[in-house]
Amino acid sequence: PEGAKVPTPPNWGGYLIAPTNIEFWQGRYSRLHDRVRYVRTHDNAAKTQWKLERFYP
């Protein structure tokens, strides 16, 4: 169930990674590479949407 605590051993540790943006780059032979970035629109994960940004050379 959501929000339920997961049992872990006492020596367990971990990290939570919550990216604010993610960028992708795709190289092309023509050197007109394709770059896109997704940017998070809200800090609250339940309300978050992702905005797409495209970059041109």
Q: Which two tokens stand for residue 3?
A: 């929000």
Distance CA 16, CA 34 (A): 29
Closest C-alpha among 18, 22, 27 to residue 46: 18
31 carries an active-site annotation: yes
Active-site residue (options: 31, 35, 40, 54): 31
Q: Which residues are catalytic?
A: 31
